[in-house]
Chains A and B, each alone.
Chain A
């Protein structure tokens, strides 16, 4: 009897308890589903200074799209590559992220990127015609578009107007021959001051690749299956650059030019091929009295078609193929690609806008240093779009260019060994292509 009574009480209590549990669960579920319907959170990764500053663009976007929240994570450039690949391996890549445009082939090989052709076809904001042709092309692999240029980057010639004038030139060199003869004149004039005419850092691959491309070398051949550095076109360009070291027009052992700007100010060198980041630095670091004495110019060309080609650098915005929020993430890309956003972004960090019409703004028109960049950006060429390319340039071209510049090898031997090493790196690619063909 008593036990019966007890069970009744207990079961009654249990019922109340169960009821409350149910209530709480329903409430939780309801609130969750409310949230899920209302706000989507996008994860966005960006690198370097751009990554720091881009969060300032978020509030405006979130105002326009109240149902999208953007969660920006900044990653330093030095760790970016490792972090992105590790994230891919552990399936934690963000919905949308920034990618250096030479990394796109690699992430495409990983099958990590969403094709953007359909998004672009429907987009009122993004279309191929609005972008610089060479840069846009770096995002296309086998006619599929994987990235939208965010900001761009190319190399131009920085030079000292006053030194150039002192040897009788009122304009920057337009051809290779002219570049060489100006350098000889400068070296001759300042012979006793231990000065050089041009800085071609031996630890930078860019000049070698640029001059090779200018001369018409494809860098690789046979559908990028074999290396072509011993090819005549590349060899000519390589020899041309090595000549500057041999004739002491360029310093060989000055890797350690720790203070580049001071050296430029001292006239230690007159020419330097480098990128847009140095415009800001030169403005900041050169003494006031020198500010009117330096200028930028498009690169000289091996023939009469001035200017010569330069690198199609920069960063693109890409979508993670496995993201569940592709449509929302695309909205974020569109927002970053709007002319107003691009201009505002330039004012924040001086990253050159990828959208051409932004360059009509007075900020660019009134900046004499920017003119060369605009002209050069219209003449850029993509490097081979294969995952191995970065390894070939950074570890191999750099290595052999350095050896040839320092006189440890003659150029011919350096290029032969470079070809051998590059072909070894390309072995897997050849195997995969042959394998697919066999199937």
Chain B
């Protein structure tokens, strides 16, 4: 009897959110999974009898699709280079801003956080000018060092680094705030006793700051990785995936296939591949961090 009441109460409290989750999350995901096994396209939208159940042909097609591999490679490039860079810059900025000797801390925090809250479209218009091969600011500065000029967004080899640079600049402020919060949670006593023992700044950073920040770092790197795998807006606005598809990301490819060409079946298959990749990436990160610090 008692357990029955408990069950009822459980359902009462969990029910609403479960219902919302099921209707707006699990069912669509399930529908998408089924869709990824069909060739749903513009013809099927007009006449459902043109819908074919094709099993794993979409996934098979993806394996043989050079553009998918290209997008995968680009996305990994972005995650592997951009992710650590972004976390590193955030950590560096956080440590600097947490320093006792720095004046105008709040102003700097604001300035570094500003790119995060600025809309990407506005930002990318400005960056397109910065990157402009003939009249851009970046090439202008480099010309004093007798370097360049480079066609930042037009050269297939430089386009992705340019996107990474912009993305890091735009996003590091958010992680920086989280790191600052983490830093402020480290007891001052630890540093004081380390100083008494004669530890230098680098040793304190290595043996106190980094281990004490481990949970924050795990959170930040997982969130950053997930976010960076979903790279979309930057290339969508800046390069449309070009030149020569050198900035085509998985999500951008998915968007193009799905909403531009309406190959819904194919694009849901891409979505599930991305889901699997992110899941694996997250599991690996959790495992690595656990081995290190626990």
Contacts and interface: CB of A to CB of B under 8 A. Distances in A.
State whether these chains interact.
Answer: yes
Interface of A: 81-82, 85, 88-89, 106, 109-112, 202-203, 253-256, 258-259, 387, 390-391, 394-395, 399, 402-403, 406, 408, 428-429, 431-432
A408 B244 contact: yes
A402 B156 CA distance: 11
A109 B42 contact: yes
25 contacts: A82-B260, A85-B262, A89-B45, A109-B42, A109-B46, A110-B45, A111-B46, A111-B47, A203-B242, A254-B133, A254-B151, A254-B154, A255-B153, A255-B242, A255-B243, A256-B131, A256-B132, A259-B135, A391-B260, A399-B245, A402-B242, A406-B244, A428-B39, A428-B50, A431-B52
B234 interface: no
Contacts of B282: none
Chain B contact surface mostly: loop
B43 A256 contact: no
B256 interface: yes
B243 A402 contact: yes
A202 B50 CA distance: 36
Contacts of B242: 203, 255, 402
A112 B47 CA distance: 11
B9 to A, nearest CB: 39
Contact of B45 (A85, A394, A431): A85
Given A253-B151, A255-B243, 13 more contacts: A81-B260, A85-B45, A85-B262, A110-B42, A110-B46, A203-B242, A203-B243, A254-B133, A258-B135, A391-B260, A394-B260, A402-B244, A406-B244
Interface in B118-141: 128-129, 131-133, 135
Contacts of B192: none
A112 B42 CA distance: 12
A260 to B, nearest CB: 12
Contacts of B245: 399
Interface of B: 39, 41-43, 45-47, 50, 52, 128-129, 131-133, 135, 151, 153-156, 242-245, 256, 259-262
Nearest to A391: B261
A90 B39 CA distance: 20
Contacts of B47: 111
A156 to B, nearest CB: 26
Nearest to A396: B67
Instruction: Select the residue from B43, B47, B135, B242 with max chain A CB neighbours within 10 A.
Output: B43
Contacts of B151: 253-254, 256
Instruction: Select the residue from B42, B132, B151 with max chain A CB neighbours within 10 A.
Output: B42
Contacts of A81: 260
A55 to B, nearest CB: 26
Contacts of B244: 399, 402-403, 406, 408
B128 A258 contact: yes
Given A395-B261, A408-B244, A253 B50 contact: no
B243 A88 contact: no
Given A395-B256, A403-B244, A258 B132 contact: yes
B125 to A, nearest CB: 11
* Top 8 closest pairs, chain A to chain B, by CB: A110-B46, A256-B154, A391-B261, A255-B154, A111-B46, A82-B259, A109-B46, A253-B154
Nearest to A399: B245
Contacts of B45: 85, 88-89, 110
A387 B41 CA distance: 11
A258 to B, nearest CB: 5
Nearest to B261: A391
B128 A432 contact: no
B126 to A, nearest CB: 13
